[in-house]
Amino acid sequence: MLGATQVAPVPQPRPGYPSPSSPGRSANMKANRRTDTKPELALRRALHSMGYRYRKDHRLDLDDGVRVRPDIVFTARRVAVFVDGCFWHCCPDHGSQPSANSWYWEPKLRRNVERDRHADEALGLAGWTVIRLWEHESLEAAVAAVREVLPSPKPGQKCG
């Protein structure tokens, strides 16, 4: 256990990964979630309260061998919803390129965007409707985007 005057050591990176600039930055990056982010949870809660039923983080194995994991999936309606983080998916309004370790981050973020486009194309070819939302969008706008492609559930009936 660390004493009051000791500082936590900076963890050693895995091969091919940059060194963390500080223990705090390392902890911050480890805390990033792949699923169940705040914007995603808010959207799921709102849709569920309206009677929509869906699968979360459901893997779709498409015919061409592509695997995709949308954040919210309406399997019966073949609608895939992604709630993309501004940093990780290079939002044109809020995305930023890190200045430290750019040799690592630039290709990584570019691959994320390429993977998103490839997933959108594969889902579209398989007959799915794709909805991509940014984490900074308002909850009302996100719900409206989903309701635009899905019928409203009738009272007492669940839609999914």
Angstrom distance (rounded) from CA 112 to CA 129: 20
- The structure tokens listed for 21 are 């600039």
Lowest-confidence segment of 63-67, 96-100, 117-121 by average pLDDT: 96-100
- The structure tokens listed for 142 are 């996100």
What band does 43 get if pLDDT is binned at 50, 70 and 90?
Answer: very high
Q: Which residues contact 72 (CB under 8 A, 6 or more apart)?
A: 40, 43, 44, 47, 54, 55, 56, 80, 81, 83, 146
Angstrom distance (rounded) from CA 129 to CA 8: 47
pLDDT digits (tens, 9 = 90+) for 135-147: 999 999 999 999 9
Angstrom distance (rounded) from CA 89 to CA 4: 39
> Which of 104, 61, 96 has the alpha carbon at shortest distance from 80?
61
| pLDDT for residue 115 | 95
Share above pLDDT 70 across residues of the chain, in percent, rounded to a whole number: 74
**141 CB burial (10 A radius; 0-12, 13-18, 19+):** exposed
- Whole-prediction pTM value? 0.78
pLDDT digits (tens, 9 = 90+) for 106-157: 888 999 999 999 999 999 999 999 999 999 999 999 999 999 999 877 666 6
Region 10-39 average pLDDT: 66
